[in-house]
Chain A
């Protein structure tokens, strides 16, 4: 049973436009959410995180939005650049869950120039 779901396996966006990656979770005990980016032949690298006490966190071109009532979070990349092309993983954790990271299956983002 997948507790963290990324329902879009892939997304294609034009350079300069906004990329929106979505993630849904089912476990209400999750209280910390993260996005990781992964290039081929490399390990995932941490991108941005958000605590459940917030609904938005921004870091440069990257913004994560959290909607707790809908158990939904999204990552916005504005403007998208070709170097953003990678696999993006959403992850969730919670103290009640031992702080283990539970990952989604990932979304492949392709930014076309």
Chain B
């Protein structure tokens, strides 16, 4: 079974721009969660999508948004980029997501650098 894939792997943007990141979950998985990893902060939960609906949301500003398509692929968008948005963005997929203790399988991440 193919694992979770994320594209692109690396991105460089400038302040004020917007960016879209993509995540393809493991085949059959319906839940996709997004996390931000910054040095010293660990992984912080952004949001979870299940069957095209946002089911859970973390404490991030509205500039961070996402969506999920009928094939469970998910995209995350960050508008009006700030320097502090530089981070590794990880997505994780699971069968049933955050309603259960399903194991979450992570992708390799997208490294976003904001200049």
Contacts and interface: CB of A to CB of B under 8 A. Distances in A.
Interface of A: 4, 6, 32, 36, 41-46, 49, 51, 89, 91, 93, 98-106
B43 A44 contact: yes
A99 B103 contact: no
Interface in B28-72: 33, 35, 40-45, 48, 56, 58
Contacts of A36: 106
Interface of B: 4, 33, 35, 40-45, 48, 56, 58, 90, 92, 97-101, 103-109
Contacts, number: 58
B94 to A, nearest CB: 10
B108 to A, nearest CB: 5
B91 to A, nearest CB: 8
